[in-house]
Copies of this chain bind each other. A is one copy, B any other.
């Protein structure tokens, strides 16, 4: 038995050695190839040009679903299919806002998801303006009765998502304003630019009309308010809301050669907000992850494990990640790792790997491919894998976090300015290179992130 065991161990060592020798070279050559591959750009260009805006529940989303199926099939993916579910759909109607007194001026607004419409004739009311969310929250209940509450807090520009994370609460504070008596809620766009384009996004259900103001409009109201006279605004907003509307996760696979039931789940989200064409949010994420899988599929031999690309269908309005986890809960033990690309097309500056995996040969192979890409393997473990893999993560799936430079992302995010010309093809390709190296290293090895995490935890 001992001899047998030794032999088995020797075989294991030989196998690991072979794997270690192969993996770094292949990861490196794949990521080099990715830098000059146009698949991600072509997909991003195609989705933004041929489909454009595609909010959940719209005709655009149905075209996007068909686009996803057609593209995955054309690229040679297997098991291409649509997983249908139901989730919320808020669709914008006509919107306008203006100061009616004392200084009549038009305002640029964009209604927030889940906003109530105004009555047909609009709402006209005096504003109560706060330059921070905290100042508004410090008001007692009922203190803002009949007012259009305006919060003009500014967002910080940061390389990572921290500026957004600390600013976005203001977008969801409509219910807090309503609780204090507000008849409507306006918030300075959660954005870092200075254009007259407001940045929308989802708000919390509050039963009142809610909209984002462009930064110059928020500052205009601030200047009006300091002059001392009451500022009155007229707001007209239409929208339709369905608590349950058909939604679609579009899926394709590159089947593994040895362990096809062991799966790496990657993707971006197919839906977008409606003001722009959803280029950086998130056609680029769709392009990056689909291109990475396609590049790996082009190897002479398929990797051991299956690579599954998911184009999640309702990230913005919520529900696609939960639906995916619910549909795949029985498979979760076989999902090796999951990750979503959903912070634009800026370069990946750091990779946060699943806890404890850093010293595994597969991750060393990945790291060896990163130097030319200027991506650091972070000392910190992955915390967030993206909104659409949050459901899987809760069920125990390890996640990876490939951190994109978001310095410019919030100049564009959720605004009409989210268009293809904002995507830099070279930065996009760098993303593909990093994803390709990571996904390949996991798919063609036997790394088990649950084991590495458990080993570290001990």
Contacts and interface: CB of A to CB of B under 8 A. Distances in A.
A244 interface: no
B103 A52 contact: yes
A51 B99 CA distance: 11
Contacts of A45: 223
Interface in A52-71: 52-53, 59-60, 63
A196 B197 contact: yes
A361 interface: no
A435 to B, nearest CB: 25
B108 A416 contact: yes
Contacts of A194: 421-422
Interface string A180-199: 00000000000000111100
Given A419-B196, A422-B194, A103 B220 contact: no
B219 A421 contact: yes
A163 to B, nearest CB: 19
A377 B104 CA distance: 43
B224 A49 contact: yes
Most interface-central of A51, A59, A195, A223 (chain B CB within 10 A):
A195
A276 B108 CA distance: 10
A194 B412 CA distance: 11
Interface string A421-438: 110000000000000000
Given A108-B416, A416-B108, A276 B196 contact: yes
A226 to B, nearest CB: 9
A277 B214 CA distance: 13
Interface string A194-220: 111100000000000000000110011
Interface in A1-58: 45, 48-53
A106 interface: yes
Contacts of A220: 48-49, 52, 277, 419-420
A106 B53 contact: yes
A195 B417 contact: yes
Contacts of A48: 220
A105 interface: yes
B49 A223 contact: yes
B416 A196 contact: yes
A277 B221 CA distance: 13
Interface in A296-330: none
Nearest to A52: B105
Residue among A63, A220, A419, A422 with max Cβ neighbours from chain B (10 Å) = A419
Contacts of A104: 52, 59-60, 63
Nearest to A416: B196
Nearest to A103: B50
Contacts of A50: 103, 227
A52 to B, nearest CB: 4
20 contacts: A48-B220, A52-B104, A52-B105, A53-B106, A59-B104, A194-B421, A194-B422, A195-B195, A195-B197, A195-B417, A196-B276, A196-B416, A196-B417, A196-B419, A197-B197, A216-B277, A216-B421, A219-B420, A219-B421, A220-B420
The list of the 3 closest CB pairs from A to B, nearest first, reads A52-B105, A196-B416, A216-B419
